[in-house]
């Protein structure tokens, strides 16, 4: 299982969380990555943790003020990027172009989707993985794997019907080891989470609890 911690724009210490994630990953052998704000990518990457961007723009080098260039993200130390998170939705053509930008920069990609139909459409664009995240459950502490497990199994089937090489992750409400176990049982090969770690009083303890079933 792959654990991707999205720090969003929460008022947390990205380096502290990155150091904790790196330690827990080293101690348990579980693959853990952290996705901070773009300005913090280099500092997070310097901790040794696998570092991801929250977004890359569908642009090349040129006159694109305010864009997040994939090559700049890679230069800062990122190894992958989220695309089309429910808080940063994009049109299908822009998702495709962002995937192209990520490929140019040799970044691994996870395209987020709200439901199994969107998962199928995203999988057809050829990302490394898709993540199903019903927006109504994001930040609630109620995981999709428990609130509506059919969404996860249907998403796994939808992706496989298009391209069996595309992994399926699940997100929204993930915060405990039980949530991780449930996601795996439903066929997911990774999870996305945010507030369960970024807003935790003790991020290291939260990560240790999360991956305990895999250790």
Which residues participate in catalysis according to the annotation? Answer: 85, 133
208 half-sphere exposure, CB direction, 13 A CA radius? 8
Helix (H), strand (E) at residue 193: strand 190-193
User: Which residue in 166, 90, 170 sits closest to 124, CA to CA?
Assistant: 166
Instruction: Point out which residues pair with 191 in neighbouring strands.
Output: 3, 170
- Known binding residues for substrate are 6-8, 138, 173, 194-195
Among 153, 97, 156, smallest CA distance to 126 is for 97
- The CA-based diameter of the chain, rounded to the nearest angstrom, is 48
- The DSSP line for 119-160 is HHHHHTT--SEEEE--GGGTTSS--HHHH-HHHHHHHHHHHH
Asked if 56 and 39 touch (Cβ cutoff 8 Å), the reply is no
Distances (CA, A) of 113 to 60, 82, 95, 118: 24, 11, 11, 5
């Amino acid at each position: 299982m792959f654990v991707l911690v999205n720090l969003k724009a929460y008022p947390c210490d990205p380096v502290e969380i990155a150091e904790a994630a790196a330690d827990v990953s080293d101690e348990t052998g579980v693959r853990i990555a952290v996705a901070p704000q773009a300005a913090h990518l280099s500092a997070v990457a310097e901790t040794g943790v696998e570092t991801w961007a929250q977004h890359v723009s569908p642009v090349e080098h040129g006159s694109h003020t305010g864009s997040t260039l994939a090559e700049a993200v890679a230069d800062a130390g990122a190894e992958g990027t989220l695309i089309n998170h429910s808080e940063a939705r994009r049109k299908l053509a822009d998702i495709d172009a962002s995937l192209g930008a990520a490929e140019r920069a040799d970044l691994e990609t996870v395209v987020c989707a709200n439901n199994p139909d969107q998962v199928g459409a995203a999988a057809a664009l050829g990302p490394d993985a898709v993540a199903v995240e019903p927006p109504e459950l994001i930040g609630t502490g109620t995981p999709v794997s428990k609130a509506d497990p059919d969404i996860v199994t249907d998403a796994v089937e939808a992706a496989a019907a298009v391209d069996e090489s595309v992994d399926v992750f699940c997100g929204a409400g993930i915060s405990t080891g039980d949530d991780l176990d449930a996601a795996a049982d439903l066929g997911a090969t990774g999870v996305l989470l945010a507030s369960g770690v970024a807003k935790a009083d003790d991020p290291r303890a939260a990560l240790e609890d999360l991956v305990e079933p895999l250790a």
